[in-house]
Structure 1
């Protein structure tokens, strides 16, 4: 060390040494010098001595140490003059402004919030150590986005009043992409099949949106767990991930991942036994066991079994029931036996039901769907049912229900219902194009949660040249506390089919007003009744189908109907838009009563089933039948016919065109209809976790039957007359409403059918 540097070091050392007499003394006064922003009281609060007390070397050292520890000062000196302690400090500069240059990947506010977590923020004291920590935090943020080539440089600019401006200049560089993922040690399964379990992937056609080709440590951890689940669900109980290597290319643009695994043997289940305090008949619990001897072990089935048993005990109030599966491996035979130890725990009841997250929706709207009551024993089934009912409302993006223990008790829990609200006001649009009608636009404005009351209000306008609809509807789903609903409808509907090339010519203008009641029979069944009065004005012309002209001649142009509607529905689906399990059954009847000039009936039945095939695949089976006819010797009005074809029935055919036709091959509809759909839903490739978008492959079948065709023949039901189609579809819950489009190829068609491969609907079908 040079003499000059040694002198500077010694000067710095002595600068922080207290300058006192050898003997302790009584403090007469304390003065603070050098402060600009810090209050003198702050300095006094850190001194271990007060006026009138004795000052010693130990207290002096403690005072200096305490003042340095505040981080406010970069130099501290204590001196004594005639019993007066003089504290001289040199403050660290404060941060007046933080500037981030070159930021594109993040918002500046997000990065500043991250820096604040490290202690670096405007208004705080500058610490060089914190500045280094802040650079590391910025670097970490970019590394999490796969930008390993990022360069960060900080600059300090002194300002007046002992302040500084901190500037970070960032060169973000390009994101590093995963160039290759290798799995080493696999024998039972091909590497491609295993990589399908990963969310991380090499660049593809959608990775510009998903960012799944950017390396993330947490994402890779999730992929490793998915790989482990894949093997455990196929009997490989001793599967192990030995190591994971992640390397980056010299240019920091490519990531290479290698996962080394040991598969081990495949195990089969040899026996499953129940033990412990079961509290319910063992035979009842045995029915819940889905793991069967002789089958290859599947971890998901074992998890499902333990959950079902715990839930069954939960239905009787045992909220903390625990079921432990203890395996016994026979490595020689590659078999495993399980003993399920049941510990019901203490029976508990519900103290409070708390609702949070509902900033717009009123508390009572949420609470009236909750089936778990305060003061009652905990019931897992009722809590699950409450979650399903809240999801089916369509008011919330997410519904979470937690049941924490009440502090200080052993037999009480709270039910905390947390909801994340979404916009319940929708603007629905529909669009279509044909050579005869051109562009047709329709729309509606609806609010399904008016002022947070749970009431529904909607107005619909269809401005098409063929279909004009003006309607206003209001529904109060809880007109009574028991859940009886009340609704009103007011509408005008004009149909002008004279310019269409696929439907027989006619015009109708209908005015209607009605009232509806809904009665919940139980948690799953719902009955509705409605009474509507309609006035219909009918117009035909010489080119209209003969049966249309005959109807007008017999019944005149103006008719009225007092229509009675009733239906029964059972809905056990777990979601309104994207159900993965459950079913919908519906029986409906529409009757034109003798109080009006049009007397008829229409009956329909629908059964829809959702079957979860796996976490990602759901099979939907749908069947519908309908039949109608006249009453009191009168025919079914042709404008009340059933129709088939289109995006909501048999895709690949134009809307309403399947069935009897007139001499111009225009669709007449029918008094009978049958529809069948089989649809496999799955995530859009590359968007596995997106909850608003999914894809499907489908097969549709259906047609209408009934009125005499142009040759005077009655087209009764025949399987040979069914049309079939197959294709793919995409459903997206967009901000404007559900968007559904399909690409379908007719498999079986008839002469005169109007095919249409591409179809789409934005919003509800009007």
Structure 2
């Protein structure tokens, strides 16, 4: 990472023909990348090409992002990325290599220049398929309709055509199907002639596993969806690879068919490399709501409660325990999950938690001790269902005489016993900073299955991300959330089980739970409501891979539960707008928000800017 570093090697003779070799590295100035330019580029804007690179200019946060200096491995990766980008846009003759990358220095500043010979751009011409099964040719040619005449001759798209033909026959046991493509260049068009030799059909002879040191064999076999005697399905093997990788238990997974001792049968070899599954993490965070938190978490994602000989590892169960202590809240908990109950694709788990908090006010504390048991199953495609039972002992303690009567009425303890059913779907391309996809959650609860607290609740959240333009990765996020709760059996919904808005999760221009009905005394305590609805829109611009500028608009309303203790007019519409930043530090974003709450009750002070922040790291 140091430009023009000097290396000297000296030899010092020893006795009996041995010698000492001394290598001395003189690290020159820490050269910083000032500019990244391109020569010979007409097909794309330089900014678009820079967005593809992992090599970046130096900036004030380079200490954290570990960018801004010259790294040969990253530079070679960028060369390959640029070459693939051009080839996938139809520039099949593009030339770019390390010799064509110039590195210029002035003082301790570097300028990197990528010299690219773009060549001609080619477009798809005629597409045809010949097969040793002639009756399939017309059907296969039609199926390759995504290779449209006149579209850029993308190298990646052409390879997808070959892979499609392999999968077409591979799903029926023809795993040795051979596919070749002949390219014929005519002016700026490329005719594609695919030839397929189907070969013999095979069945599964046996499945064997290598590389599993701690993981039980059944943990792998249950993800396979293949058994001896089945047709050897190429698509199922690829899906099994993906499913095994998604368990988080393995660094790598490779599934390949091999010749067996039986004719027209193949063995399926599964090669895995196990990952570290135990974790000990110390967490710390700050936020405008909680101020400061610290926590300790112990976890094992390949847990086996019945295997004490191998430190309770190997069954793919998940167990975690942890404690978190903040300025206004404390929490302790234990979670356990069996992802394959009775060796069926059915999740089962439970958790036990205890918490004590006074996030709302300093004049009283909420104490909760509870447990939840659940079963979950993927119902179809990416939709998962979860059925759960939750029981909790709630107690309001340390109530000061200065609080409002609405809070005093809640003093004491109660048992909350409820069952619920949740549907969820998540198609985000990534979790920290999504650019595409959506999340949908619908949760329904009924409390009163035991205990005297009786209510029904339904809540839903939907969020969609749109990649507006890849230039500076500009993303629009639209999110809406709604909830409704009401008592039954002659019971009112308790104050601390009602719906609230306000805080970093929805209306960022207002304090936690304070965008809604409040009490009609000097304390102005939040009273919550029976309905809550909120809309959040956010436009983010990645000025750097680890630094984003955020513009947002939030609005929402909580409908009062009743007129008791209510300050008239506080169940109005609340809205704010603002600007924020997100800086990734250790892969976790530090978010700063400066909001203007332009719509609120007349008694609210429209503080500008209303400042809030949130940050959490694991180290």
TM-score over 0.5 for the alignment?
Answer: yes
- Structure 2 residue 610 is the aligned partner of structure 1 residue 761: no
How far 1:323 moved relative to its partner? Answer: 4.6
Q: Is the 8 A contact 1:740 1:761 kept in 2?
A: yes
Cα offsets for 1:73-100 (capped at 9, x unmatched)? xxxxxxxxxxxxxxxxxxxxxxxxxxxx
**Runs of 5+ consecutive residues of structure 2 not aligned to the other structure:** 304-311
- 3-state SS of 2:394 partner: strand
How many residues matched? Answer: 592
1:329 paired residue number: 185
How far 1:172 moved relative to its partner? Answer: 3.0
- Note closer, same or farther for the CA distance 1:711–1:679 as it changes in structure 2 (3 Å cut): closer
Cα offsets for 1:526-571 (capped at 9, x unmatched)? 433323333333465555455445x54xxx7333232112223345
Which one of 582, 590, 601 corresponds to residue 741 of structure 1? 590
1:671 paired residue number: 530
Which one of 81, 95, 112 corresponds to residue 226 of structure 1? 81
2:458 paired residue number: 603
How far 1:421 moved relative to its partner? Answer: 0.8
Relative to total residues, which structure has the larger helix share, 1 or 2?
A: 1
- 3-state SS of 2:175 partner: coil
- Structure 2 residue 332 is the aligned partner of structure 1 residue 470: yes
Relative to total residues, which structure has the larger strand share, 1 or 2?
A: 2
- Structure 2 residue 440 is the aligned partner of structure 1 residue 557: no
- 3-state SS of 1:757 partner: strand
1:457 paired residue number: 319
- Note closer, same or farther for the CA distance 1:300–1:646 as it changes in structure 2 (3 Å cut): farther
How far, CA to CA, are the matches of 1:324 and 1:679 in structure 2?
47
How far, CA to CA, are the matches of 1:570 and 1:151 in structure 2?
59
How far 1:380 moved relative to its partner? Answer: 4.0
* 1:534-613 superposed matches below 5 A: 534-538=392-396, 543-545=402-404, 547-549=406-408, 552=410, 557-570=412-425, 584-593=439-448, 595-607=450-462
- 3-state SS of 1:369 partner: coil
Which one of 252, 256, 281 corresponds to residue 403 of structure 1? 256
Q: Is the 8 A contact 1:348 1:411 kept in 2?
A: yes
1:187 paired residue number: 42
- Note closer, same or farther for the CA distance 1:379–1:471 as it changes in structure 2 (3 Å cut): same
Q: Aligned-pair RMSD on alpha carbons? A: 4.7
How far, CA to CA, are the matches of 1:714 and 1:250 in structure 2?
63
* 1:207-222 superposed matches below 5 A: 210=66, 213-214=69-70, 216=72, 220-222=75-77
How far, CA to CA, are the matches of 1:349 and 1:696 in structure 2?
55
Which one of 360, 363, 369 corresponds to residue 511 of structure 1? 369
How far 1:196 moved relative to its partner? Answer: 4.9
Which one of 489, 498, 509 corresponds to residue 641 of structure 1? 498
How far, CA to CA, are the matches of 2:428 and 2:507 in structure 1?
23
Cα offsets for 1:677-726 (capped at 9, x unmatched)? 6678999946xxxxxx897857574535122583345848xxx6454555
- 3-state SS of 1:307 partner: helix
- Note closer, same or farther for the CA distance 1:517–1:346 as it changes in structure 2 (3 Å cut): same
How far, CA to CA, are the matches of 2:540 and 2:58 in structure 1?
25
* 1:175-574 superposed matches below 5 A: 183-190=38-45, 193-194=48-49, 196-200=51-55, 210=66, 213-214=69-70, 216=72, 220-241=75-96, 244-245=99-100, 260-276=115-131, 277=133, 286=142, 289-331=145-187, 334-396=188-250, 398-406=251-259, 412=266, 414-427=268-281, 429-432=283-286, 439-450=292-303, 451-452=312-313, 453-464=315-326, 466-496=328-358, 499-500=361-362, 506-521=364-379, 524-538=382-396, 543-545=402-404, 547-549=406-408, 552=410, 557-570=412-425
How far 1:630 moved relative to its partner? Answer: 1.2
Cα offsets for 1:635-670 (capped at 9, x unmatched)? 222211234444444556544443334455554444
How far 1:621 moved relative to its partner? Answer: 6.1
1:157 paired residue number: 14
How far, CA to CA, are the matches of 2:437 and 2:203 in structure 1?
29
Structure (1 or 2) with the larger CA radius of gyration: 1
1:4 paired residue number: none
Higher relative contact order (CA 8 A, sep 6+): 2
TM-score where L is the length of structure 2: 0.77
- 3-state SS of 1:405 partner: strand
Q: Is the 8 A contact 1:681 1:694 kept in 2?
A: no
